[in-house]
Chain A
Amino acid sequence: MTPESSYNLNGNSTPAIEFRDVYLAFDDQVILEGVNFSVKRGETKLVLGGSGTGKSTVIKLILGLLRPDAGSVIVDGEDLSDFDDEDLRRIRKKIGMVFQEGALFDSLSVYENVAYRLTEEKVPADEIEHEVRRMLQFVDLEDAIDKMPAELSGGMRRRVGIARALVGNPSIVLFDEPTAGLDPPTARTICELAIKLRDLEEVSSIFVTHEMNNLEYLSSEYAIVDNNGNVHFEEDGEFLCMLNTGALMLKDGEIIFDGSDRALLAADDPYIRRFIRGK
């Protein structure tokens, strides 16, 4: 047994997310072919793979936006297979989703976007305001509260998207290529948010990406809060292995790697080596 598999943050043994032998095809194009993996509570799983390898599909399956042709997707101990719209809505409340380009509602302001989930649930206005401000502080964008999405830069839009996903304190957060097309410092900020969620909020997450530096940040740093309440990021020491971060690589709808970042970097598979080094 590897140290990872025995690692458990909350002492609860049901994984946050589990895929059991999932198959999915559109017409005659096979997307996923017998995918098995699980994400433990408090764990961040980076899903790597080239374009069109089914990374985003994995996320849509977890949200129930797509249904598998065979196999089962289990979220928080519940099998989504026979769920109707009402059940799925209940499950989706536990999940925060960060979309590739933010996917903010154009017609709503930043405030209304972040407040969306609470407004729909008819939460009292002052509670909404408090929660929205707290979330915008978390992503460091309180100044943009009254802006419209069209006025924001790409990085800001994604941070608002993260704030919107985190409202209601979901125990699972899904990131769909949150750093694609961003400059390195902004991409770094997004990764820091993911690290903060993992280490300070004990959120389980799936982080779909094809950028290797995301893996490096997430698997070598951790966030701590000092006595003044400030958040610091510390580099992982030489021998301390990050136990709550794993990597998973997809190729042609199959998982070709599932393990720690170190194992990934040491892998012999030519596809993985090419993916890591770009040649």
Chain B
Amino acid sequence: MNPFTRFLFELQGVTDLFVRVVRGLTKKPRYFDEIIRQLDLIGVGSAGIVILTGFFTGGVLILQAYPTLQYYGAQSNAGQGVATSLIRELGPVLSALMVAGRVGSAISAELGSMVVSQQIEAMRALGTSPARKLVTPRLVALIIALPLLTVAADLFGLIGGGLVANLVYGLDTTVYVTSVRVGVSINDLLGGIFKPVVFGFIIGIVSCHKGLSTTGGTVGVGRSTTSAVVVSSVWVIIVDFFLSKILQQFFTGTMF
């Protein structure tokens, strides 16, 4: 099968799954308990690595940018530099990539093993829709959790940046905070929270689809786990570009 045909088939699978999930949301039973459980696993469980990633990313941004800013005598704008790049781009994208690695892989491995050990078939035989019981809670949890995780990453990134600016380059904290407050607009914040909503959806639907379409035993589980992480990461990065462009035009009011 050529790559394009395969892509179309995958797209069909993902769309079909999405339709089932949406239909599942409109009808009973809705699995609220399961959503809460997944929020705990996905959201609370990923908080540590996402915060750590944000913190050090903020730090390294200042570490690298400060000398250049100093060269132009613009070191008082250091906070703005970190804040805009973190909130607009790095926060959402890096959090999404970390979550894709940690949660996307776990989801597709779990669903994939359930497929190969016939648990998914057993579930259907017992009259439950796997899309409703397994996919919907994970997808909803990801869409709720990822923006929250991103905000945490942004916040800790700013703290990391401030610490490095202060401790390594001796920049006054008040100057840093003022620069952050002046530099960040409401549009940056809205865009920075909207992006992870989309990324959460991408990671969730891709990982669930990859997991549920596992074939070929335990080897197949490995394969679908790998491709869940790779495919969702790549899509996050591609979609991020177009989303940035769209948001830019939306906020500046110059659509095309």
Interface size class of B (residues with CB under 8 A): 10 to 19
A183: shortest Cβ distance to chain B, in Å? 21
Q: Kindly name the residue among A85, A100, A101, A103 whose own CB sees the greatest number of chain B CB atoms within 10 A.
A: A103
Which one of A63, A85, A97, A101 contacts B117 once the chains associate, using CB atoms below 8 Å? A101
A200: shortest Cβ distance to chain B, in Å? 23
- Bound: A117/B123 CA distance, A: 9
B-contact bits for A148-190, CB 8 A (1 contact / 0 none):
0000000000000000100000000000000000000000000
| B29 near A63: Cβ-Cβ < 8 Å | no
A106 on the B face (CB < 8 A): yes
- Bound: A84/B29 CA distance, A: 17
What residues of B have a CB within 8 angstroms of the CB of A60 in the complex? 121
A93 on the B face (CB < 8 A): yes
| A63 near B124: Cβ-Cβ < 8 Å | yes
B122 on the A face (CB < 8 A): yes
A228: shortest Cβ distance to chain B, in Å? 35
| B121 near A99: Cβ-Cβ < 8 Å | yes
What residues of B have a CB within 8 angstroms of the CB of A99 in the complex? 118, 121-122
Nearest residue, chain A, Cβ from B27 = A86
Given known pairs A101-B117, A103-B117, the reply for A65 and B125 (CB within 8 Å) is: yes
| B118 near A92: Cβ-Cβ < 8 Å | no
What residues of A have a CB within 8 angstroms of the CB of B128 in the complex? 116, 120
Residues in chain A within 8 A of chain B (CB atoms): 60, 63, 65, 85, 89, 92-93, 95, 97, 99-101, 103-106, 116-117, 120, 122, 164
Residues in chain B within 8 A of chain A (CB atoms): 29, 113-114, 117-119, 121-129
16 contacts between A and B (CB under 8 A): A63-B124, A63-B125, A65-B124, A65-B125, A85-B129, A92-B125, A92-B127, A93-B127, A99-B118, A99-B122, A103-B122, A104-B119, A105-B119, A106-B114, A116-B126, A117-B126
